[in-house]
Structure 1
Amino acid sequence: MTEVIDGNAVAAEMRSALTDGIETLSDAGVRPGLATVLMSDDPASETYVSMKQRDCEEVGIEGIHVELDPDAPAEELFDTVADLNDDPEVHGILVQMPLPDHVDDRDVIRAIDPAKDVDGFHPENVGRLVAGNPRFKPCTPHGVQKLLESADVDTEGKDVTIVGRSNIVGKPLANLLVQKTDLGNATVTLCHSRTTDLAEKTRRADIMVAAAGVPEMVDGSMLSESTVVVDVGINRVDADTDKGYELVGDVEYESAAEKASAITPVPGGVGPMTRAMLLYNTVKAASQQESVDVELP
């Protein structure tokens, strides 16, 4: 029987576990603050930001939301980030991507105070991660680790194949999984669009993570028996539904589930964990900035 790893349930447990740390901060007169910045009229981005703000309210984090006109000059966004950097009540800053074409997202990431970069994308934080001393683990890769832990999947000595080399998921996850930690010590193969014979790489994996942003690119024929499958992808494809579309992952679920020993669904797998780990990083940021020791789950 294939185990379906319920990301909603694990994320709910994480949010609940974070309340102890938030109470510790509250006793010290500190309320963690997360600022979200939206410079887009993309409905998906608007929905995602509103979900993050709702998560903050649920656990007791102060949510600060700033919306900017997508046609505004780039300087307006940089001024906003500078103000948030200087605000002592803001412990974490998240600028929702993608940004308008006239704004360089790399410059925006570099403009965020590394101590408030709860996405973990600032070059300083990337360097700390690679060096094995992360300030913040990027939310989606850390969420993947927590999902594997919840399913009692031991990564030590295992062959892990990651499909996708993005700076958001593939690269940082590969770095986390090779670290000398309880949730690491894996042997990692990082695949991408130039990889030859992708199926050969995925079939030899004990754990296969799909994070390429291509709908259903991995199917059951590309897996070995008892592989653990983590599907990071979330893609809209046309479908005969009320909305006119459905959400699918980077894995063709039905055929993969026939082979897998455990699998994450889409939706309801990795997605909720990404948001939960953002809260985790915000609590950690508040703890570090306010010099208040908290116990993190």
Structure 2
Amino acid sequence: MSFCDAIMQSCLPYRIAIESPSSISTLYPGYDGRPYQREPKMAAEEKALAPGARKIDAGSIAKPFRENIRKQVQELKDAGIEAPLLVGLLANTDPAARKYAEWTGKACTNDGIRYELRTIDDPIDVEAALRDANDDPRVHGIIVYYPIFGQVESFSGEGQDDYLRDTVSYKCDVEGLCHEYRSNLYRNIRYVDFPTNTKKCVLPCTALSVVKILESVPSCYDETKPISRRMEGKTVTIINRSEIVGRPLAAMLSNDGADVYSIDIDSIYLFRGGRLHKCEGETPESCVRKSSIVITGVPTKSYRLPSAWIQKGTTVVNVASFKNVDEDEILQIEGVQYVPMVGKVTVAMLERNLMRLFYNFHHPDRRFEERKKTVTLDAQRPAPWYGNALQVYTAVAATAIIAMLLTNRQ
């Protein structure tokens, strides 16, 4: 045996391939001659899961929505209509807000939507910039990246951000957070043009993204039931009652028939049948244990939802930028459906809201209909007793002359 062959034979157990004048396949039957490759470590998502447990990629849920948006934009372009314009207003140094603005811009560009980020140095100028965007006929959607006044000392305090949300025109509010849409949501009014009902309301995009995720998960929504009853018999717990996600999401799921526990730092409420009930005897643990759907949105790194509270077959959605649950632990619970992030679906819903606003208020055909309606209403108004300015002048002059004659006669 040659020296080279001896080395090859000694190294065979380690699957190291060394070139030899002899045929490797002849010398060592069963060895294919490929270099040894270390077995890759099992990735976290490839670890053995409990039976029926699953981690859901939000990107797969967002994909069909974004494909439909691209199709709509292309149809507009084919008809000679410019793509909708979304304007973002950024007036803070919050890293998360800046990252969200960046994601929004990239997504819009990829989907054919025009996007313009307007950076404002002084938060005091945000209202003026917002009103300018409201009045600009070229702008079809507006998103304000919060918090603004919540980060710095101001005369108005954090309430100024709420004021700005209500300042966004309902015709441009892609976030669905202005008073018009919030009020309609909490009263379960689904159209802005009652009783015609041709223009659907815009819903808060992050809360809407959670609804779309739940609709994609088997057993959460019953599509055989009529709208407003598709979550009947379901109990949901939402941890964090923010105006951006927790509060509107609780209302939306309750409007679909679910019993929804809304948990915040110092209180628990139950949304049931469109009514709000204060819960005195419930705890976060008792609510979670009753629920087949749990949604977490606590914006702190230290918070963890105890995995022991989660029951078999529960759907868990993490809305916060931090992981509010121990992923490895909950995926060891039988039948758990876990969605770790909703950002991609949120951006898709933002674009979807923009398209809805465009077709509701800004499409050339819609604007023509509105102008036509205005002309029709003007034509239907009773004609005044005078026909033109000359008749008014003549009547006034005649009245003055008669008054003078009567005065002189006296």
- Structure 2 partner of 1:38: 90
Matches within 5 A, 1:95-114: 95-100=144-149, 101=152, 102=154, 104-114=160-170
Question: Which amino acid counterpart does residue 209 of structure 1 have in structure 2?
Answer: I
Matches within 5 A, 1:46-85: 46-69=98-121, 72=122, 74=124, 76-85=125-134
Matched, 1:88 2:144: no
- Structure 1 partner of 2:326: 252
TM-score normalised according to structure 2 size:
0.63
Moved over 4 A (4+): none
- Structure 2 partner of 1:29: 81
2:215 to 118, 130, 149: 149
SS where residue 273 of structure 1 aligns? helix
Which of the pair has the greater relative contact order for Cα pairs under 8 Å at 6+ separation? 1
Contact 1:138 1:172 in 2 (8 A): yes
Contact 2:123 2:148 in 1 (8 A): no
CA distance in structure 2 between the partners assigned to 1:43 and 1:165 by the alignment = 23
1:134-186 per-position Cα deviation (integer Å, ceiling 9, x unaligned) = 4111011110111111222323321111111111111111111122xxxx221
SS where residue 116 of structure 1 aligns? coil
Matched, 1:232 2:319: yes
Matched, 1:283 2:370: no
Unmatched 5+ residue regions in structure 1? 236-248
Contact 1:220 1:258 in 2 (8 A): no
1:234-277 per-position Cα deviation (integer Å, ceiling 9, x unaligned) = 12xxxxxxxxxxxxx22222222222520112xxx212111111
- Structure 1 partner of 2:236: 160
**How many equivalent residue pairs?**
270
Query: What is the deviation of 1:89?
Result: 1.7
Query: What is the deviation of 1:28?
Result: 5.9
CA-based RMSD of the aligned residues comes to: 1.8
Percent of aligned pairs with the same residue?
27
CA distance in structure 1 between the partners assigned to 2:204 and 2:123 by the alignment = 28
CA distance in structure 2 between the partners assigned to 1:145 and 1:82 by the alignment = 31
CA distance in structure 2 between the partners assigned to 1:201 and 1:146 by the alignment = 23
Question: Which amino acid counterpart does residue 279 of structure 1 have in structure 2?
Answer: E
Contact 2:62 2:344 in 1 (8 A): yes
Question: Which amino acid counterpart does residue 204 of structure 2 have in structure 1?
Answer: P
Query: What is the deviation of 1:113?
Result: 0.7
- Structure 2 partner of 1:261: 336
Query: What is the deviation of 1:198?
Result: 0.9
1:183-207 per-position Cα deviation (integer Å, ceiling 9, x unaligned) = x221111111124521111011011
Contact 1:211 1:231 in 2 (8 A): yes
Query: What is the deviation of 1:219?
Result: 2.5
Query: What is the deviation of 1:60?
Result: 1.1
SS where residue 160 of structure 1 aligns? strand
Contact 1:217 1:251 in 2 (8 A): yes
